[in-house]
Structure 1
Amino acid sequence: MRRIWINGLTVLMVAAALAGCSTSKEKMLPHDGNTMLDIWNEETGGAARGGQSAQQLLDARQSLRRSLTQDDVNAAPTVNASYTRTAQNEIYRQFHRLPNPDLVMYVFPHLAGTDPAPVPGYTTVFPLYQRVQYAMSGERVEDY
């Protein structure tokens, strides 16, 4: 009885899968004769079907723009100089090294090797981080 159910379910699933593949591409994704340029113009409002014309968009953008004030014009060289590479700011480090503290570890006396030999206790120093880490430009400016 159980095998009949499994066979029936398998036949039903195969039939459903084949029915899903029986549709055509044109039925699923109609082309309508539009080119990509037509679709672009429709979606960006460049052409017909109720979209704004290019001139309307340009007018809207112009209304949002503002002219530069005299203070903006006077401050422009200083602002631009902060982004410009010069010989002076190339001499100074822009990416400072982050602190990498040394850890001091005491190793107790122990026996080591295949033929156990006594090793006296000693102190060793190693850095906390394996690699040197750098701060982003302007993130950390104090010297270490």
Structure 2
Amino acid sequence: MPHRIWIEVVTVALTVITLTGCTTNTEELLSHNGSTMIDVWNQQTSGASLNGQASQQLLDARQTLRRSLVEPLTPSSSEPYTRTAQNEIHRQFHRLPNPDLVMYVFPHWAGTDPVPVPGYSTVFPLYQRVQYAMPGERLEDY
């Protein structure tokens, strides 16, 4: 009998919690004060909430990032990434240094029939794979 009462209490509690969650008013939770998405976008991107000087700085910064859609790319802007006969003989992607590590293995016993192994040194690279730099990223030649 006590087991049945416990199940009924849990059932009633879950029902109350579910109904409470369904009665939440989304307008109160996510009020937008009559603003549309385009209004919010224009307000945040036009600098209307900023003072005049900060607004002008924002517009100047945006203007420097814009480029013309009709003007072709200048050769100097795409030169480091363009394959030509001249730069084909030179490496564009230089290998980054991968130092060797030296590890000393102390004398030990090895195998199912213990055999003495004398101490020795071994060399292995620090990184597992060869890493390359982007064009112009590293100036030193390795």
TM-score normalised by structure 2 residue count: 0.49
- Which one has a bigger Cα radius of gyration? 1
Identify which of structures 1 and 2 has the higher relative contact order when contacts are C-alpha pairs closer than 8 Å and 6+ apart.
2
TM-score normalised by structure 1 residue count: 0.49
